[in-house]
Amino acid sequence: MGYQRAPAFDRREWLSEKFSLGVDFPNVPYYIDGDVKLTQSGAILEYIADEHGMIPECKKRRAVPHMLQCEAMDLRMSFVMTCYNPDFTLSQKLPKFEAYLGEKDWLTGDEVNYPDFNLCELLNQLRKFEPSCLEMYPKLQSYLTRFENLPALREYMASKEFKTRPCNAPIAQWVSDC
């Protein structure tokens, strides 16, 4: 199913439905896969990544993608705060991600993994917010270009199924389409 803009709705509709979904912590986004019912973006992303063999068996190797996912979410929250409150200062995590990448193609090494999806989506949003924001970070620029050129992703983004969507709610100070 492709992304569709949500129709205008009355908050009472969500409140009347959210507690009937059978999820432990009713919220959006939510994901239901048979008897697995999840909320929270990170938990949903990790579950889907595990379904596709992207979560390593080794405890130590499994912790690294989780850490990177959390770091990307910290950067995302800083950006969201900037979008809703222009006096808020954007996080200084970009230099840390630039250094962390080093000579690696992807955050966890030679293969794309689930934190790459989160970080690259955010880098794309940051670039829309401030087109020059990655100029001082050539590794992040190359990283994002590599991600955007993944064959399946490039094909999807060129398809009629791909639709841009608002990056933030209408009440934000910055609401561009992503």
| Domains defined for the chain, CATH in brackets | 12-53 (3.40.30.10), 58-178 (1.20.1050.10)
Predicted confidence at residue 1, as pLDDT, reads 42
Helix (H, G, I), strand (E, B) or coil at 111: coil
For the stretch 56-115, pLDDT in tens is 888 888 888 888 888 888 888 877 777 667 665 666 888 999 999 999 999 999 999 999
Residues 128, 134: Cα–Cα separation, whole Å: 11
Q: Specify whether the CB–CB gap between 114 and 121 falls below 8 A.
A: no
Predicted confidence at residue 113, as pLDDT, reads 92
Q: Specify whether the CB–CB gap between 39 and 30 falls below 8 A.
A: yes
Give Cα separations from 134 to 67, 123, 147 (angstroms): 22, 8, 15
Instruction: Indicate the pTM of the whole model.
Output: 0.71
Predicted confidence at residue 140, as pLDDT, reads 96
